[in-house]
Structure 1
């Protein structure tokens, strides 16, 4: 089977939604869970458009909430495929909120989702290769390579980590913990 390639641009997708009072948390700001739901939707749409397959979320690798979003702001999410494996893709998403009265725009969130393409048979499907057309796309691809390397290192560290005895943890000034076993 011949490998297909598609441009990063072919994966670009954006959505905009006005933030309503029903989207708020107890402090009156837009609820992070609501934003996460929108992020998952755009990651799905972006990965599905690029792969031409149904896609599932394998992991939410990074979600950095940078600034709060207010009721009445217009939130725009922009997504693109930044990295591809055999059946997986890393989708980068930028979230901006615009004060529609003043036109002021703020960067509120950056996120990375790993999505997996699923074929009609229910199994992982091969995704197209990625054509990088500019240095920004190359940089984003390199970031994806680093993300995967860090993920693998973290998994390895979990498998070999030893933290010593509970006594050494409790006697250390590095931890803010108290154990009261019953």
Structure 2
């Protein structure tokens, strides 16, 4: 079934259920708090949801192959302060904050704390020691492995707060 044939209520429930599964119901509620101001872009070929915008600013991309959303910095800025620490977060050392904010990957040896409920491949918010948002990305190591690694990436950063993509929006 093509998503662009859903009613506005059906689309809301569909997106809410995906976000609730991927994150939790509180996150889904916060993310969709601007639902009336959100617009949606659908694939011309398949009719599936591709992008979510709020006030004409990209908030999330839907990855149909995985059935999950990848979030943008703008969505993280809007939602992060409403989510209790350490939920969905990877906290890094202050001395690497600028590199992460520029969109560089998070190495395991620089991680201070990580939400223990995360799983490999989860969307995460990368924050500094004061819980300030630095970037969004995808967890590339299980949380319980991170303290034991001195080499390698713990999070593949998709977008930093200082990256070119973030500045355009």
**What is the TM-score normalised by the length of structure 2?**
0.31
* Structure with higher RCO (Cα < 8 A, 6+ apart): 1
Larger radius of gyration: 1
